[in-house]
Amino acid sequence: MYDVIVVGSGITGGWAAKEFCEKGFKTLVIERGRNIQHQGPEYTDMQMPWQIENRNKVPEIFSEEGRYSIIERKGYFKNATKQFFIDDKEHPISYPKESPFKWIRGYQLGGRSLTWGRQSLRWGVKDFQANEKDGNGVPWPIGYDDLAPWYAYVEKFIGVSANKDGLDTLPDGVFQKPWEMSCAEKFIAENLKKAYSDRHLIIGRSANITEPTKEQAELGRGQCQARSYCNRGCTFGGYFSSLSATLPAAKKTGNLTVVTDSIVETVDYDDKSGKATGVTVIDAHTKEKRQYRSKIIFLCASALGSVQILLNSKSKTFPNGIANSSGAVGHYIMDHFSGVIANAKVPGFDNKYSIGRRPIATYIPNYRHEQKDDADFIRGFGFQGTAQHRSNTGTTAKKVGIGAEVKMNSNQPGPWRFRAIMYGEMLPRFENYARLHPTEKDQWGIPILHIDARIRENERKMIKRAAIDIKEILSAGGCVDIKINEFPETKPIAVGDRVHEMGGACMGEDPKSSVLNKWAQSHDVKNLFVTDGACMSSCATQNPSLTYMAITARAVDYAAKLFFKGLL
Amino acid sequence: MSKINISRRLFIGASVYFVATPVWASIFNTVNSLSVFSQNGRFFTAKEMTILSDVADIMIPRTDTPGATDAKVIDVLDALMLSWAGSETKQQYKFIIKQIGLIAQSSFKVNYQSASRADRELLLNKLDQLSFVERSTELSKSYRKLKEMIFHIFYTSEEANPNFMLVPGTYKGDITKNKMELYNVKKRVS
């Protein structure tokens, strides 16, 4: 019997483990994927480009066999990183043909904390108010003020390098020294300051440490070395992951047990006591089942992973899945979406250069919390962009031209160019859902998920406006030769593509319409908490991981207090 | 110079799937600036290695900086054929090598290895141009795929990246060329 079971070892599971262990709880972390050693042989960050197997090309047999189909074209899926992503052929999901869903996963100790983008952005006051304001989704039972101290708590531990920008829409936090902007980015930023009061280009806020604290150093973490090899695993511990930070902190307490290669099939529930009693797992290799018992259970299995477990955990009290008296489990599935990519020349600076590989982009925060006259949609969008390096003439690998002269003109510095991609807020809709497939099961006998979540009219209208806005912003920023790629209405946009899938067990005041209360505690089962992306009632525009971590730390604090009072 | 003869039949009609796996005789030839492989590779035969190596060298010659031969591009490619290449790529590369041979024979009345360096350069330049104009033929697709891989191997090589820093230390986005060159010499940004 454990005090706590944490399901999942990713960005929230690691936090739950750390917090509980540090409070003295005997904590079991159950990870469905394999064990990975921090700084171990699966990290490829210390390999030169010519040392990486296959010169970093993924074996073509994957494509021939229909493996890794949803991820094969992604820039981050290379031979040096493929070990950190699952093959969707082995882990199928179901979705309507006309609205494919992308569920990009990493089944290993640390989960997707090994490969995340590290953009660490707080939500603002208005982000938490959006559902109540426009009537979409379930109103958040918490606001910025509830989470602010936990954002600070998390930022201090993980290490966020950022600038204090003084923006209400993107509150400042506890920061280390920010990364530099390039001369081109500074030029745009300065021009935007002159042109707008509400549109800003700022340096991104990155979970890559620039000034290691004593606590970080004691965990074996070092300063980020500007390599941008984060998703190969970082031998320096320069970026935050479960492996580099939270799990080592948990382990130091002596209270942590980790079990890998174990897939949680159900959260087990005692109808008489009204409590969750533990979990049943299936061994990933032998397929044998076993149970673990605990007093408290935290689901941190990723949004859809937790939803799958909840729905599959049926009992007399919960015939539709544990904690699902509301019928809301599996609903309000969201992701950020894009639909606009911009590219513009920044004139001048021909005698300026850059060096090093900055691990974070710049950011234009959402400025459309209040609907403006030119908007026929609600909510808003931000942009992530970069002109970190000058453009390059490239080579003629895919163009006409061979020989000496062509070679000498290759890879020469070109002008500075700024590229930006839109991140839009998808409305929370009940009809965007995930449920258990009625007949299809995975190789462990667990029903696979069927996910039907779509970009709809509001999102399409947002794309149209974002295309106009970014052109105007870049022009005001002093850019020329502005090229906008706006996805046409007919082009499908797969939900899940931004890898920020969330929702499915949303927080809310009313147990009839939500799954979790303001502490991410199940309304129905008091010793069950869900603190990964499933708990999100809306998705705002900011990268969500910092918010997940803050919600987790806060929930653990609450659960621990309840436990010590004998209330769990 | 000989006129390059890439017949319509060759350019449009040849199907990669029609070509049987060739059996190449071992030839030892040091004429015309041609590096000749005397041993089979792991995947390619010695003759194929010889032709491929020459193709790569013409595509990316040594200038004031190393070229494809210096970077041993074809040795690397030969190894990648076993660990990276799928069945289609394997067929395509075998196919394009054979087609280059046929073009040479058709144009120069000698095999590729016996043609002059100037003629071989002419052949490849012509093939390169045509392959990006008419993109749908098997010859075009195979050539472009080979070219892309040769370029990828070269431009990820140590020889092509003398200033590569595994551990820069930090990022600076507003420096002069002199400063950049200083950091490159130090192999560190500090």
**Residue B59 phi/psi, 5° resolution?**
-65, -45
- pLDDT-derived band of residue B11, with 50, 70 and 90 as boundaries? low
Mean pLDDT of A191-218: 98
Please tell me the distance from the alpha carbon of residue A460 to that of residue A465, in angstroms, as a whole number: 9
Residue A91: half-sphere exposure toward Cβ, Cα within 13 Å: 19
Contact at 8 Å (CB) between B71 and B153? yes
Mean pLDDT in residue range A454-476: 97
Does A564 touch chain B if contact means CB atoms closer than 8 Å? no
* Chain A 245-304, residues with CB within 8 Å of chain B CB atoms: none
Q: Rounded distance, CA A71 to CA A63, Å?
A: 11
Are A185 and B156 inside 8 Å of each other by CB?
Answer: no
The burial class, CB within 10 Å (0-12 / 13-18 / 19+), for A41 is: exposed
| Residue B158 contacts A where some CB pair is shorter than 8 Å | yes
Any chain A CB within 8 A of the CB of B60? yes
d(C-alpha A295, C-alpha A84), whole Å: 32
Burial-class residue B1 by CB neighbours within 10 Å (0-12, 13-18, 19+).
exposed
Please check whether residue A294 is in contact with residue A257, taking contact to mean a CB–CB distance below 8 angstroms: no
Residues B173, A227: C-beta atoms closer than 8 Å: no
CA A367 to chain centre: 22
The span from the CA of A219 to the CA of A416, in Å, is: 39
Inter-chain residue contact A354 with B125, CB threshold 8 Å: no
Instruction: Count Cβ atoms below 10 Å from residue A404 Cβ, excluding itself.
Output: 15
Q: Which of B64, B173, B183 sits opposite A185 (nearest CB)?
A: B173
Q: Which residues of B touch A59 (CB under 8 A)?
A: 83-84, 86
Work out the minimum CA distance from B163 to partner chain A, whole angstroms.
11
- Reading the block at residue A544, the tokens are 């969500």
Q: What DSSP string describes A9-34?
A: -SHHHHHHHHHHHHTT--EEEE-SSB
d(CA A318, CA A515): 13
Which residue is closest to A50 within chain B, CA to CA? B157
Asked if B174's CB is within 8 angstroms of A354's CB, the reply is yes
Per-residue model confidence as pLDDT tens digits over A384-396: 999 999 999 999 9
B128: closest chain A residue by CA: A400
Report the alpha-carbon distance of residue A403 to residue A132 in Å, rounded.
Answer: 64
Task: Please say if the pLDDT value at position B32 is more than 90.
Answer: no
Which chain B residue is nearest to residue A356, measuring alpha carbons? B171
Helix (H, G, I), strand (E, B) or coil at A464: helix
With CB atoms and an 8 Å threshold, state whether A183 touches B173.
Answer: yes
State the average pLDDT for chain B: 88
* Residue in B86, B170, B174 nearest the CB of A226: B170
Report pLDDT for A373.
Answer: 82
Has residue B27 got a pLDDT over 80?
A: no
Of B63, B129, B153, the CB nearest to A400: B129
Residue A420 reports pLDDT greater than 60:
yes
Nearest CB to A357 within list B128, B157, B168: B168
Chain B nearest C-alpha distance from A339 (Å): 29
The reply to whether A357 touches chain B by the CB within 8 Å rule is yes
Find the closest chain A residue to B159 by CA distance.
Answer: A50
A-B C-beta contacts closer than 8 Å: 139
State yes or no: pLDDT of B14 exceeds 50: no
pLDDT of residue B18: 30
Those of residues 75-134 in B touching chain A at CB distance below 8 A are: 76, 80, 83-89, 121, 124-125, 128-129, 132
Out of A264-278, A372-386, B13-27, pick the least confident. B13-27
Q: Residue A402: list chain B partners with CB under 8 A.
A: 58-60, 124-125, 128, 147
SS3 A382: strand
| Strand pairing category for A528-530 and A289-299 | parallel
What's the burial of A328, exposed, middle or buried (CB within 10 Å: 0-12/13-18/19+)? buried
Quote the pLDDT of residue B7.
65
Looking at the predicted structure, is the pLDDT value of residue B26 above 90? Answer: no
| Pairwise CB contact (< 8 Å): B148 & A353 | no
Across the interface, whether the CB atoms of B172 and A357 are under 8 A apart is answered: no
Contacts of A180 (CB under 8 A, 6+ apart): A203, A358, B171, B172, B173, B174
Q: Is the pLDDT of residue A558 over 70?
A: yes
Distance from CA of B29 to the nearest CA of A (A): 23
The whole-number pLDDT of residue A84 equals 98
Which of A207, A265, A269, A270 is CA-nearest to residue A240? Answer: A207
What does pLDDT average to over chain A? 97
Does the pLDDT of residue B167 top 90, yes or no? Answer: yes
Which of B75, B149, B171 is the best substitution to test chain A (most A C-beta atoms within 10 A)? B171
A348 near B CB under 8 A: no
- Is the predicted pLDDT of residue B25 greater than 80, yes or no? no
CB nearest to A356's CB, from B76, B169, B179: B169
Can you give the pLDDT at residue B31? 63
Q: What is the pLDDT of residue B1?
A: 43
- Residues B130-136 have a mean pLDDT of 95
**Spatial distance between the Cα atoms of A49 and A80, rounded to a whole number of angstroms:** 10
- Positive or negative CA dihedral for A83, A87, A90, A95? positive
For B80-114, b/e burial (b = at least 16 CB within 10 A) is bbeebbbebbbbbbbbbbbbbbbbbeebbeeebbb
| Whether A471 contacts A495, CB under 8 Å | no
For residue A413, give the chain B residue with the closest CA: B177
Secondary structure (DSSP) of chain B: -PPP---HIIIII--GGGPPPP-PPP-----TT-----S--SSS-HHHHHHHHHHHHHHS--SSS--TTTTTHHHHHHHHHHHT--HHHHHHHHHHHHHHHHHHHHHHSS-GGGS-HHHHHHHHHHHHHHHHHS-SSHHHHHHHHHHHHHHHHHHTSTTT-TT--S---S-EEEE-HHHHHHHHHHTS--
CB contact under 8 A, B171 and A388: yes
pLDDT-derived band at B10, boundaries 50, 70, 90? low
Question: A-chain residues within 8 Å CB-CB of B75?
Answer: none
Which pLDDT does position B132 carry in this prediction? 97
Q: Is A396 at the interface with chain B, CB within 8 A?
A: yes
Q: What is the ipTM of this complex?
A: 0.94
pLDDT per position as a tens digit, A10-62? 999 999 999 999 999 999 999 999 999 999 999 999 999 999 999 999 999 99
pLDDT digits (tens, 9 = 90+) for A344-370: 999 999 999 999 999 999 999 999 998
DSSP string of A503-560, one letter each residue: -SS-B-S-TTT-SB-TTSBBSS-TTEEE-SGGG-S---SS-SHHHHHHHHHHHHHHHH
Inter-chain residue contact A60 with B67, CB threshold 8 Å: no
Nearest Cα neighbor of A78 from A52, A104, A101 is: A52
Quote the pLDDT of residue B190. 83
CA dihedral A142, A268, A334, A545 (to 10 degrees): 60
B88 token code pair: 């289609």
